[in-house]
Each structure stands twice: as structure tokens, then as C-alpha cells.
Structure 1
């Protein structure tokens, strides 16, 4: 094998069927450079979890909006303490949700519950545990500190302050912030509309009993489940291995969807019609075949004018699953304006790299003494669905000749 370093291409000059493979690093960079910006949309607050904010969220008033009690107890004027008064007549009870009241005199107190508005002419709250209450009078057990147990108005954030920045992922906690400023509807980054396409005459529906030469569909359903985790509900489409049918159905898909994600039909077999069909439909091939394992036949292309992107993965389950996490998820993050953060793991064993391919090895992980450790899973190739279900993700093993020692840190791609 020889490598053309300047183009990131690897080729096999001795093969009768000449092919070129793009290096993994080059393939990855190409994918994340061809992102889509689909604009924004407004969604209901409770439908916004996991979406990306397209606006700064500002405080519409001070946080908290009034001086409030943080304890159940009594509220007094500290000026009474300064005069030596430690016994107070109770003149009423304040609860959360009541309008602000007033303390009539410094020799009296009010009972106050957590969250209630601090009354006028009062400035200190004493917990019930620090008082003795009898016959409508409250006696202090200890001398309090002035201003204690009060959550001051604007002490968290002041009106106009940015609470959540544009580009923030909306979490369950963020929903609470959005609700507190009255955001019934939220402006978020629009997600791509995706069609997941499976091909192959050997595939049957999951409720069917396959004949000896058939298998049930699995890749498209795994992809659909993975997409739902990032808030995308894809459309599933199956196309038989027929040249004309493939081209017709893909043309329909491109008219409706931003991303077409295919599984199968991109290798070098006589019934792998996808690359030719995509070319006939005006989809520009960015690359086809990557120097990696699994997922070598990966095909990636775009249609610039109509803003269409194609991820055409190999048909083997592990290849499809690996390429989805290695390429598509970073592409989606970049399209939504997010940083692609790298994760790492320590491999708890030595490993032999491939001399010319980047390897994505399935691993299980566990935390030990504050470190995330990984162990490889000995699967049975890229068609092994069972090993895929056991894996926590993949480590990326760069190409090379020498064995890599135990306890080496590798890039880790979480897969779930």
C-alpha cells in the first residue's frame, strides 16, 4: 500500500480492481466542513428539551423578584434586638403567595413561611427551632444576625441579565429557567428532516419469518432509534435492489428531506447501485471508501444548491452503527453550531494497530480510581449485532506497525 499524503488518499496499485481510499482524518474533516444551516423554528416549551437555543434568554425581572424567606420561623425588625428586646408578640402569619405585608411595630413579629415576601419594616428571620412560642408570644433562644435567612431581591440575577446563552442545549433544568421568564414558546435551531433508506432484496420486515436466504431489517431501525435520541424522528424507506427503482425512490426522497441516510448498496458488488444512482441525481460525491475498519465503503456526498446531504453507510450492522457515531453525530453538532468535543479512555490492554487502516474497536468501559478504563470486545466482525449491543462505544486506533502498550489513552466515541 502507498499513501498520497497531500490528498489523504490511500490506494492499492496491485489490485485488478483499482480503488482509492481517503484517510480517516481527511474523511472526517470533509464531513464536518459540509454542514447545513436550516435556520430556526419556534417550538412549545415542553417540546424543546434537547434542542439548541437560537436566542439569548434574559431575565424579565429580578431573580428572585422580591426579598423572600428561606426558612419557616418568625420575622422581626433587628432594631428591636439592638434595644435588648427578645420577646415578641405575634401579630399574624405570612405564607408564600401573599402580597407584601407590614410589621406594625418593632416590638411585634410575624410568623413567616419559606418563600413568603419579606414584610415592610422587618429585616431578619429567625427559624422556629431558635424560638419558643407560647400564648401568642415568641421568645428568642439566641441572638440572631441582622438580615439572616433572607433571599435578597436580585441576588441571583438582575432584570435584563442573560440567563441562558444562544447555542445552549435545553436541559430539564433549563426548562425551569425558561418557564420562570414566561417562555411558553422557544426559538430553537431547526433540525434536519431525515429519511433513513435500507436496500437489499434479502431484507424482510421484523414481523415476518425470513426464508433461509433472508434476514430481518435491523440497521434502519437502529438508526431510527439513535436519531430519536437527538430529537429527530426519521422517515423509514426500503428500496429493492433495482437500478431504476432506486433512482426513482431516491429522487422522491431528495424532494422532501434534508438528509438521506442509506444503509447498504455502496460496496463493490454487482447489485450495489447506490453510487451510480446518486451521481445520476446530481449528488456530488465528496468521497467513497475510507481507510478504516469497520465501515470502509462509506460514501458521502452533497447537493449544494438544494442543501442536501447524503450519508451512505455500508450494510453491515457494526459498520453502520460506527459510522453514524463517528461521522453523523459530529456533523449534526457542527450544523447546530455546537463544538465537537473529544472524549478519551484508557485501554486496559495492549493492542495491535493495522498498518494502513484506522480501526474502530468496540469496547466496554468502567470507572476505576477516577479513571475511565476500556476493554475490547472480541466480536465476530462487522455483522455481529450481539457484540454491538454489549459495547459502550468505540476506541479509535490510528494506523501503525508497532503494538500499542497497555494503559494508552485513545479517542473514545460513545455509542448508545
Structure 2
């Protein structure tokens, strides 16, 4: 049986980044940059006004001063005259300011903006006020996008500002989600005797989307070789396939057998942890002659909290590597424990927890949780704490490894 560290190392060795592709910048949201992008021009490309008002030399702004208006510019117009002592130019937000400008007086600080000779309601103005200087945002040749960075809407706007119309991206992985088990019914159906609703599918779909993937639900596979083979084959068409259930040691745990028949090679099976011990990981290599793509397969335990924890520890890391994202954001936080906690058993326990981040201080509190089927307890959590086994209890104010799945 592998340790958690050994399992993570095996994932790191196995997962290869997706093949970059050129994508129109308007369709790149949610993808990761594959190449660095440098600014091809200064931004802003000229000194411009940040306010509607009047371009001035700050040294001219003194008590009881009057200024002569030499030009009135609207957006898109270029000044024809530089500023000279005692002279101003009316500008609008975003307008290029004349040479010699080092500040802009707000239109609200002018007694009569329509007058040719202006009087001001202010007696001084600091140099640089209300002016956005050329290159202040970015300069030609400056790296503005690094490989692995997430393309979110502010970065997309920045690329558009520079005239970048396409970008090389690591693709968002497609991730099939397949639940297995005769006891499952879809979440919108009333369970019969001995049946339960399929909570794993919506949970894993949400986790996949949160991790930057494109979830593709496959439904429920019954515990028969025929149904498993058909639905697993469908799931293998994606970059990743997540199965829940069928990977333990029960009579009907047929998933590993069906995966092997469909060409998926096992990388590891079972990890020394709680919950999540039965986790299975493998790879179906690409075979161009047969028209099959590479697919990374995780067989997750059927109990929902086990699947949840295994996704956050292992699948999220694998998806990040596929998109060539550095692992630092997946590393645990050093958190101060807010209450005592006793660990039972001889395996590390990944206990659902409330994790709080306030500045540089991180605290973690284990939620009341009775085991891997207890979704109610896990729903109170926004992360988890790693508790290695030991003979005595963990005490309040000790530091532990914790993960924060989301802030709340």
C-alpha cells in the first residue's frame, strides 16, 4: 500500500501536460497560458487624463490664479499646442494631455468651466494628480502573461488592449464522471428499498468545474461487466475519467478488471489514508493506430466524503499538472488547531474542517464528522486537516497541515 506522498509522486510522474493549442483570445477564458506574452507597446501609449477637467502645470496652481483656455479636446482628439505658463487645455477622461502637463484639475474644481479665463476653487495641486503617464501600467517588452497563468477576464481585456487576438493555451481538461453501483438512483428520483441517491456525481462535477475542468457526466453504471464496459469506454474518450465506487475488495468491485480489459494500466491501488484507502489510479495510453486518446483514470471510493477528499488530494493535483500549473497552490497551509482532537487508528486521517485565513494567521477547527458516508458533517467544512496517527491527542494551538477548499 502506498503512502500519500508516494501516490502524489506517482501522479506527478504519470501526468503529462495537455498539448497546447492556439485559441482566439475571446474563447480562452478558463484556460492556462502555454507561452509567455510580452507587451508590444506601452500602456497607456501616451500621457492621458484620468478625470474630466483641465490639463495644467501644477506650479501654476496658486491662490487666486486665473488660467486661459487654449484648447478644448474631446475623447480621441490630439492636442495641437503644448502648455505654457498660465495656460490650460480642457480634456476629458482618457484624452491625451498636451506636452508640459503634469496634473489635471477636476472640472468640479473650476468655478465656470465654460469661461475662457478660468478661476479655480483650489489653491494648490500636486504634480501627477489625475494623470496616467505613458508606460505606467506596462512597458514594451515587459512580460504580462506567464506560462501556466489562468486566463481570466481582466487578462483577456489586457490582451485585447495590446491587440493580441489569439493565445497559445493548455486546454481545459475534459473530465468524465461515472458513478457505479446497483444501489444508486439519480438524484432526482425517489430511492426504493436499499437504494440511495447518487450524490457523488453532482459533487464531483462541481469539484471538476472548480478545478478548471470541463465536467462530462456519464451517469450510473450498474454492477455488471456489460454496463461497466460500455460506460467506461464512453468515459475514456475524455482526458480524465473519474469513477466512484467499485474499487474496494467486494464481490462486485469489478472496476479494475474492466479498466484492464479496456487497456488502462494500473499505476497504484490503495493508499494509506482515511478516508479514501481504496483509491485507484491508472493510465490508458494514446494509440493513434486504434484512434484512442490518452486518458487518466481515477477510481474513487464510493463513500462521498472519501471521493471528496481523494479529489482534493489527488485529482486536483493531476488536473493542475495537465494544465501545467505549479503545485504551490495545492500545498497544505500551516494552521493553528483551535481545539483538541483525538485520532483513532493507524492511518493518517484527512478530517473535514473549518479553515479560516485572516492575514498571515491560519486556524483550523475539525467539524463534527462520523465517517466517510457523513455528508452532513462534511457540508459544514470548507477544507480538511491532515492528522498523522499518534498515541496521544492533538492539543489546541498545535500546528497542523490543512487545506482550504474555499473561503467562507
Normalised by the shorter chain, which TM-score bucket? 0.7 to 0.9
Change (3 A) 1:334 1:67: same
SS in 2 for 1:262: strand
Counterpart-to-counterpart distance in 1, 2:129 and 2:175:
56
Residue 119 in 1 paired to residue 114 in 2?
A: no
Which residue does the alignment assign to 1:150? 131
Change (3 A) 1:271 1:60: same
Aligned 8 A contact 2:148 2:326 in 1: no
Which residue does the alignment assign to 2:376? 386
Q: Matches of residues 256-267 of structure 1 in structure 2 within 5 Å? A: 256-267=237-248
Residue 314 in 1 paired to residue 301 in 2?
A: yes
Change (3 A) 1:246 1:122: closer
Counterpart-to-counterpart distance in 2, 1:178 and 1:27:
39
Question: Could you tell me which of 80, 87, 106 is aligned with 1:101?
Answer: 80
Aligned 8 A contact 2:34 2:169 in 1: yes
Counterpart-to-counterpart distance in 2, 1:280 and 1:309:
15
Change (3 A) 1:77 1:273: closer
Over 6 Å off, 4+ runs: none
SS in 1 for 2:312: helix
Which residue does the alignment assign to 1:4? none
Counterpart-to-counterpart distance in 2, 1:323 and 1:33:
18
Q: Matches of residues 13-412 of structure 1 in structure 2 within 5 Å? A: 21-76=1-56, 81=60, 86-102=65-81, 108-120=87-99, 125-128=104-107, 132-133=111-112, 135-139=115-119, 142=123, 149-237=130-218, 238-254=220-236, 256-306=237-287, 307-341=294-328, 342-344=331-333, 345-354=335-344, 356-367=346-357, 371-412=361-402
Aligned 8 A contact 1:355 1:401 in 2: no
SS in 1 for 2:379: helix
Counterpart-to-counterpart distance in 2, 1:66 and 1:202:
67
Change (3 A) 1:277 1:157: same
Q: Which has the larger radius of gyration?
A: 1
Aligned 8 A contact 1:130 1:142 in 2: no
Deviation for aligned residue 1:401: 2.6
Change (3 A) 1:133 1:321: same
Change (3 A) 1:337 1:85: same
SS in 2 for 1:55: coil
Aligned 8 A contact 1:197 1:220 in 2: yes
Change (3 A) 1:104 1:265: closer
SS in 2 for 1:234: strand
- Write out per-residue CA displacement over residues 51-109 of structure 1, whole angstroms, 9 at most, x where no aligned residue: 21122222232111111123443234689x59x99433224422332233325975543
Aligned 8 A contact 1:101 1:120 in 2: no
Aligned 8 A contact 1:40 1:54 in 2: yes
Aligned 8 A contact 1:317 1:383 in 2: yes
SS in 2 for 1:390: coil
Q: CA RMSD in A?
A: 2.8
Aligned 8 A contact 2:30 2:172 in 1: no
Deviation for aligned residue 1:327: 0.5
Deviation for aligned residue 1:252: 4.1
Counterpart-to-counterpart distance in 2, 1:370 and 1:78:
41
Aligned 8 A contact 1:361 1:376 in 2: yes
Aligned 8 A contact 2:355 2:384 in 1: no
Change (3 A) 1:268 1:136: same
TM-score (norm. length: structure 1): 0.85
Between the two proteins, the alignment pairs up a number of residues equal to 393
Aligned 8 A contact 2:56 2:83 in 1: no
Which residue does the alignment assign to 1:10? none
Deviation for aligned residue 1:311: 0.4
Counterpart-to-counterpart distance in 1, 2:135 and 2:281:
52
Aligned 8 A contact 2:83 2:98 in 1: no
